[in-house]
Amino acid sequence: MTCGKGNDTAFLARYLKKVYSFDIQKEAIDIARERTKDFSNITFINDDHATIDSYIEEKIDVAMFNLGYLPNSASTVITQAASTIESLKKLFPLLNDGAIVSIIFYRGHKGGLDEYVKTIRYLDHSPYQLIERYLTYTDIVEPIVYFYKKIKEAPLSRSHCFWGK
Ligand SMILES: C[S@@+](CC[C@H](N)C(=O)[O-])C[C@H]1O[C@@H](n2cnc3c(N)ncnc32)[C@H](O)[C@@H]1O
């Protein structure tokens, strides 16, 4: 969902039959395309991930969000809660039952905490089922990763925490 320099895309392409990789920045897509040139199972999409429904019709088994900004870039483009939430809404009906969605949040940069709080608030009241969450408990600015699953059964109870406790 956030191609960046293509590290995650290369990882997914190694294990999955077909990978779609979105980024709103052409700079990121160009770097990722070069990095993954040995793979033939990747389709790059230079567009907002909130437009996913315009590009993908088949069912999806895994989706990966690595939010924030393009590392070591002069660009100030960052992911935003509104489009992240919109893409999660459009993604859900495209997911197979049992599909896994991972989301890494970075709360240290300007806008990162806002995106985290708003997105988690949406997810807490969404059909996405939280299955795992990792953080190091040392610092609020550390990355935090959530794993969600699409399941048919009744919702699990949830308890999110915003402050690492
Ligand atoms: C932390 S980087 C992703 C790192 C990447 N997954 C990797 O393996 O290197 C976040 C990326 O999200 C992209 N981005 C920001 N807003 C976006 C949006 N609405 N849709 C798609 N990509 C977006 C940025 O351009 C940036 O390249």
**Which domains, and CATH codes, for the chain?**
7-149 (3.40.50.150)
Q: Which residues lie below 8 Å from residue 75, measured CB to CB, with a gap of 6+?
A: 25, 27, 69
51 Cα–ligand 1 center, Å: 14
Reply yes or no on whether the pLDDT at 159 is more than 70.
Answer: no
pLDDT tens, residue by residue, 137-149: 677 788 999 999 9
Nearest Cα residue to atom 4 of ligand 1: 4
Q: Is residue 46 in contact with ligand 1, taking CB distance under 6 Å? A: no
* Contact between residue 44 and residue 30 where contact means Cβ atoms under 8 Å apart: no
Q: State the Cα–Cα distance between residues 135 and 21, nearest whole angstrom.
A: 26
Cβ atoms 34, 73 nearer than 8 A? no
Could you tell me whether strands 129-134 and 144-149 are parallel, antiparallel, or unpaired per DSSP bridges? antiparallel
Quote the CA–CA distance of 28 and 130 in Å, as a whole number. Answer: 30
8 lines ligand 1 (CB under 6 A): yes
Taking only the tens place, the pLDDT of each residue in 104-136 is: 999 988 999 999 999 999 999 999 999 999 887
pLDDT digits (tens, 9 = 90+) for 49-97: 999 999 999 999 999 999 999 988 877 899 999 999 999 999 999 999 9
Alpha-carbon gap, residue 150 to 101, rounded angstroms: 8
- Spacing, Cα 78 to ligand 1 middle (Å): 7
- Is ligand 1 within 6 A of the CB of residue 36? no
Cβ atoms < 10 Å from Cβ of 131 = 13
If pLDDT is split at 50, 70 and 90, which confidence band does 161 have? very low
Q: How far is the CA of 154 from the centre of ligand 1 (A)?
A: 32
Average pLDDT, the chain: 91
Sign of the torsion angle spanned by Cα atoms 41, 44, 50, 55: negative
Supply the pLDDT for residue 158.
Answer: 61
Q: Which residues contact 99 (CB under 8 A, 6 or more apart)?
A: 59, 60, 61, 62, 63, 149, 150
Tokens for 137?
């408990």
Q: How far is CA 93 from the centre of its chain?
A: 16
Query: For the whole prediction, is pTM greater than 0.75?
Result: yes
| pLDDT attached to residue 126 | 95
